Amino acid sequence: MDVLQVTGLVKRYKEVVALDGFDLTVANGEIFGLLGPNGSGKTTAINCALQLLTYSKGQIAVFGQPMSPTRYDLKRRIGLVPQQVAVFPELNVAENIDYFCSLYVNDRSRRRKLVAQAVEFVGLERFAKFRPRKLSGGLVRRLNIACGIAHRPDLIFLDEPTVAVDPQSRNAILDGIKTLRDEGATVVYTSHYMEEVEQICTRVMIMDRGRAVAVGATQELKSMVGVGERVEVELDQVSDAVLPAIRQLPQTQQAELSGDRLRVTCARGAHNLTEVLAVLNRLGVGFGRVYSEPATLNDVFLELTGTQLRD
């Protein structure tokens, strides 16, 4: 069953069209990534799906049933972790989680267990009595997540949960999202970080200007572009013969020298790196470190929209 289905969604802010005929289908048990630059419509799409915003056109179904502002039976099965941290500064960690959990769960004994599980899930056992102002930015983000998932929802919306957090907290958050999926939840995850989306998402939608640019598994999206990989080589010495020889390779799409670094963008192929290094050996040009990077989702975005993903 499709857990979430959005069809033909249109949202306008006066002259600005935030969502323009937006379609989205999320299957049960997947981590679905909404990837796009700031302002592409990711948060607006989530808020419309949750009926937190009105919209001009479109249909929304959750768990196979029409969604509306008063469908509290459906909303009890949904968790939201907003992009902006939404916790109470006067409450400590455990009290914050308990408050948000109480919006869904009335039974106090059950709620105590859920709060304890949520505190453990985000790794805040040592900080359960701390107020948010005593926590680092990364720990506050973890608290924000715990407040949104403590009631064990079936569908979870995570809106850029790793913004401005340290690498350790980011890794903990990403691992936690995969655990939520493994425990049976369906996750919709928005980000403008390609690396995160590639790491955890089953399928990805690339968004731009309120529309879906492309949808599919990561490898499916990468196969849409002609870029195969980027090769970077640190040269021991720079020779005028290097660039012309590299550019003569049939797979070379672009080649440039920046100081002692040779950068080559290649078409898809099995032996790009080998052939670039063979040219250098033939010319007698020594080299040090060699880097090879496959096509990224930014390449997909760039080819389809003409702009960088982070622009």
* pLDDT tens, residue by residue, 31-69: 999 998 888 999 999 999 999 999 999 999 999 999 999
Please, is 244 exposed, middle or buried when counting C-beta atoms within 10 Å of its C-beta (0-12, 13-18, 19+)? exposed
User: Taking the CA of residue 262 as centre, how many other CA atoms within 13 Å lie in the half-sphere pointing to its CB?
Assistant: 30
Domains along the chain?
2-222 (3.40.50.300), 227-294 (3.30.70.980)
Position 105 pLDDT exceeds 70: yes
144 has a pLDDT exceeding 70: yes
The two tokens of residue 307 are 């702009």
Name, in order, each residue with C-beta under 8 angstroms of 77's C-beta and a sequence gap of 6 or more. Answer: 63, 153, 154, 155
Tens-digit pLDDT profile for residues 164-180: 788 888 888 899 999 99
Average model confidence (pLDDT) for the chain?
93
Strands 261-267 and 252-258: antiparallel
| The pLDDT of residue 72 is above 60 | yes
- Work out whether strand 227-235 and strand 261-267 pair parallel, antiparallel, or are unpaired: antiparallel
Query: Is the pLDDT at 156 greater than 60, yes or no?
Result: yes
Q: Structure tokens of 199?
A: 């790491």
Report how far apart, in Å, the C-alpha atoms of 118 and of each of 56, 104, 141, 173 are. Answer: 37, 14, 13, 13
Strand order across the beta sheet in which 287-294 lies: 252-258, 261-267, 227-235, 287-294
Q: What is the pLDDT of residues 251-310, one digit of tens each?
A: 999 999 999 999 999 988 878 999 999 999 999 999 999 999 888 888 888 888 777 776
- At 127, which amino acid appears? F
> Is residue 215 over pLDDT 80?
yes
Average the pLDDT over 180-185 and give the result.
94
pLDDT of residue 310: 62
Q: What angle do CA 192, 197, 203 make, to 5 degrees?
A: 120
